[in-house]
Amino acid sequence: MSKKLVLVKPKSEFAEDIKKGLTSNIKEIPSYHLYGEKGDQLFEKITLTNEYYPTRSELQILESYAFNILMHSGSDEKAPTIVELGSGNGTKTEKLLNKAVEVYGKCNYYPVDISQQSLLLLKNRLSKFEHCLISPVEANIYENLEFLPRIQSQKLILFLGSSIGNMGIDKSYSLMKRIADNMSPHDKLLIGFDLAHNGNKPQEIINRAYNDDGLVTAQFNLNLLRKINNQLGGEFDVGQFEYYSHYNPELKRQESFLKSKIKQDVRISDLNLTVRFCKDEYILTEFSQKFDLEMIAKMAGAAGLEQVDSYTDKNRYFINSLFIKT
Ligand SMILES: C[S@@+](CC[C@H](N)C(=O)[O-])C[C@H]1O[C@@H](n2cnc3c(N)ncnc32)[C@H](O)[C@@H]1O
C-alpha cells in the first residue's frame, strides 16, 4: 500500500551552495549534496563494505530492540506512526516496519528525504509491505519540519545512521531543538549516534569506515564533482582530484575532503564562474561528528529532550537513544 509522493519542495539550492562554497576562502560544500544522482546508490554500496560498521551496528540494534522501541512509542493496540528523517534506502527501518505489522497488523510510514530519487527507490522496494501505508515526503529537514505536527497520530520519529553528526555540532543541536519544538507530548524520537573513540573503540575503526579498501567512499565523494559537471555545466577533470579523510581525535569527528592534485582553474558555465585551485587545496565535503554519552546528554537537555531509553550493539560502537520532549 502506498500513497503518492507528497512534495515539500526543497529550494533549488544546489547551484547557490556550490557558488558560495567554491568561492569562499576555505572551500566547502554541504554534505547533503553528496546524495542524489549516483550518490544514493554509492552510499548504499558504502553501507555494504566490511569497513562501514555504523549500518551493521544500527541494524543489529533495530533487530534486537524493535519490539521494545515500538512498545515504548505506541499503545498496546495501536502502532505509532513512523516518520523517518533522511530515510535513505530504509533498509534498517524495515526491521521496525516488519515488527509493527507483526504486532499490530498494520502501520503508517512517512519516509522524509531531500532526494526524490531515494524516496522513489525506497517506495518501490517497500511495496511488498502490503499492510504498511507509505507516504513519502520530499523535504530539506534543516529548513522544513512543519509537516511533523500535521501528522496527528502518536509518532515515532527516526533520525538514524548518525546523520545528526553530518552538519557540525551547532547545527546538530539546533536540529534536535527544532525537532523537539515540532513534537507533540506523546511522540518519541529515536536518534542514532555513532560513538566517538574510547577504551573500547579504537580510532582506527572509525577512520577505516571512511577509507574502505575498495575506494567506494572515495568514489562517493568524487561523484560530487561529476554532479556539478552534469547539473551545472562544470568542467571538473575528476582524475585531477583525490579523496582524503582522517579522524580528528580532539574534535571527535571524521573529516573528509577532496584535494586538488595540481594547480588548476575549473570553469562552471551555469554559474558563470571559474574556480581557481592551488595544488593540494582542499574542498571540505563532510564532517562526521562522533559522540560520547556526555555530549548526547548535554545536547538533548539543551534541546528540550529527555532520554527515556537507549540501546547499543554488541561491540558498543553505536547507540540509539529514545527521547521525549520535556
Ligand atoms: C547518510 S544517509 C542515511 C540514510 C539512512 N537514514 C540510514 O541510516 O542509512 C543520509 C540520507 O539523508 C538524506 N539527507 C541528507 N540531507 C538531508 C536534508 N537536509 N533533508 C532531508 N534529507 C537529507 C540523504 O538524501 C540520504 O538519503
Indicate which residue's Cα is closest to atom 7 of ligand 1.
Answer: 161
How far is Cα 209 from Cα 204, in angstroms, rounded to an integer?
8
Atom of ligand 1 nearest to the CA of 91: 9
Task: Quick: pLDDT tens for 239-250.
Answer: 999 999 999 999
Task: Quick: pLDDT tens for 215-238.
Answer: 999 999 999 999 999 999 999 999
Residue ranges of the chain that CATH labels 3.40.50.150: 52-196+291-325
Least confident of 116-125, 172-181, 204-213: 116-125
Which of 41, 87, 158 to probe ligand 1 with, by most ligand atoms within 8 A of CB?
Answer: 87
Residues having CB within 6 Å of any atom of ligand 1: 32, 35, 43, 55, 86-88, 92, 113-115, 118, 140-142, 160-161, 163
Q: What is the 3-state secondary structure (H, E, C) of 273-304?
A: EEEEECCCCEEEEEEEECECHHHHHHHHHHHC
Which of 42, 44, 113, 167 to probe ligand 1 with, by most ligand atoms within 8 A of CB?
Answer: 113
How far is Cα 255 from Cα 264, in angstroms, rounded to an integer?
23
- Please state whether the predicted TM-score (pTM) of the whole model is above 0.85: yes
How far is Cα 320 from Cα 194, in angstroms, rounded to an integer?
9
Topology, domain 52-196+291-325: Rossmann fold (3.40.50)
**163 alpha carbon to ligand 1 midpoint, in Å?**
7
Cα-based distances in Å from 244 to 15, 78, 224, 255, 308: 24, 48, 14, 8, 38
**206 alpha carbon to ligand 1 midpoint, in Å?**
20
Task: Quick: pLDDT tens for 267-319.
Answer: 999 999 999 999 999 999 999 999 999 999 999 999 999 999 999 999 999 99
User: What single-letter DSSP state applies at residue 11?
Assistant: P
How far is Cα 137 from Cα 147, in angstroms, rounded to an integer?
9
Phi-psi region of 292 (alpha: psi -120 to 50; beta: other; left: phi over 0): beta
